[in-house]
């Protein structure tokens, strides 16, 4: 018979699922990739037109805001879209490194909560490892696409990134097959089109960003359809 979950652990798992249910983290992460891809592509044109320079600056500024204020940006959007529809819950622990799950034992109401605090910490560390693994694979894929001359590396990088995405999300039931299949598709298109070495980085980031945005947009539309705004 499976061991019953603790109240605190159950709350953390609900918080984790609720953070991704509306697709907003995917949309914002994809937008960051698109912004830096546009900035890289336009910067390589060596154009002195004010419009091009302005777009590059705006793209870089938007990328910087998203990169360093990711949680705050997603929270701002959730406060206007998600929380009015389905209520507020505290963000999951991975969004705030200053609050570790093991510290929640101070909130325990019984001995079972205290005994199982190690399970909360174990799951927290497991998630960090899995998503850190995906981040590392993504960085490695970008480096390989940028430096390796052979066109097949684009397909290999996309396939490995898709497999890493599946590996990281399979345990929590939120695998997006758009992302799992989309990253290899981006690599395949780049291999077939024979993207030049100088354009590869921007093209790979642009394609990856569009895949994330498509995945997030689908989740977002499904969420809005299931949870229409309450009428005054």
Burial of 96 (0-12, 13-18, 19+ CB in 10 A): exposed
Judge whether 163 and 137 are in contact, CB under 8 Å: no
Rounded distance between C-alpha atoms, residue 211 and residue 53, angstroms: 27
Rounded distance between C-alpha atoms, residue 181 and residue 136, angstroms: 19
Rounded distance between C-alpha atoms, residue 35 and residue 37, angstroms: 5
- Token couple for 96: 């705030």
Rounded distance between C-alpha atoms, residue 75 and residue 130, angstroms: 23
DSSP state of 91: P
Any domain includes 231: no
Rounded distance between C-alpha atoms, residue 104 and residue 101, angstroms: 5
Per-residue pLDDT tens digits for 109-155: 444 555 556 666 666 676 667 767 777 878 888 777 777 778 888 88
pTM: 0.75
Any domain includes 1: no
Q: How many distinct structural domains can be found in the chain?
A: 1
Judge whether 32 and 63 are in contact, CB under 8 Å: yes
Any domain includes 57: yes
Which residues lie below 8 Å from residue 108, measured CB to CB, with a gap of 6+?
8, 114, 117
Rounded distance between C-alpha atoms, residue 158 and residue 142, angstroms: 10
* Predicted pLDDT of residue 12: 67
Judge whether 143 and 156 are in contact, CB under 8 Å: no
Q: Which of 62, 28, 27 is nearest to 214 (CA)?
A: 27
Judge whether 159 and 187 are in contact, CB under 8 Å: yes
141-144-149 Cα angle (round to 5): 140
pLDDT in tens, the chain (232 residues): 445 445 556 666 777 778 888 999 999 999 999 998 888 888 777 667 788 788 888 888 888 888 888 888 888 999 899 998 888 877 765 555 444 444 444 444 444 555 556 666 666 676 667 767 777 878 888 777 777 778 888 888 899 888 888 887 776 666 788 989 999 999 999 888 877 767 788 888 899 999 999 999 999 999 999 988 776 4
User: What domain range is 128 assigned to?
Assistant: 7-226
Any domain includes 232: no
Rounded distance between C-alpha atoms, residue 183 and residue 171, angstroms: 20
């Amino acid at each position: 018979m499976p061991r019953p979950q603790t109240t605190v652990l159950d709350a953390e798992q609900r918080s984790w699922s609720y953070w991704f249910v509306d697709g907003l983290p995917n949309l914002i992460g994809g937008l960051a990739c698109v912004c830096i891809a546009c900035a890289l592509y336009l910067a390589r044109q060596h154009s002195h037109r004010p419009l091009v320079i302005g777009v590059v600056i705006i793209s870089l500024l938007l990328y910087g805001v998203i990169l360093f204020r990711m949680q705050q940006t997603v929270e701002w959007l959730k406060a206007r879209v998600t929380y009015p529809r389905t209520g507020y819950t505290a963000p999951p622990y991975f969004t705030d490194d200053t609050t570790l799950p093991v510290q929640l034992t101070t909130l325990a109401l019984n001995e079972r909560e205290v005994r199982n605090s190690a399970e909360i910490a174990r799951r927290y560390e497991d998630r960090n490892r899995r998503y850190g693994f995906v981040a590392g694979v993504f960085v490695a894929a970008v480096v390989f696409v940028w430096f390796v001359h052979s066109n097949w590396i684009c397909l290999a990088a996309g396939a490995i990134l898709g497999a890493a995405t599946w590996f990281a999300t399979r345990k929590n039931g939120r695998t997006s097959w758009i992302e799992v299949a989309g990253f290899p598709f981006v690599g395949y298109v780049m291999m077939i089109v024979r993207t030049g070495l100088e354009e590869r980085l921007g093209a790979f980031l642009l394609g990856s960003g569009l895949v994330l945005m498509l995945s997030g947009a689908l989740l977002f539309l499904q969420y809005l359809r299931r949870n229409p705004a309450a009428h005054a």
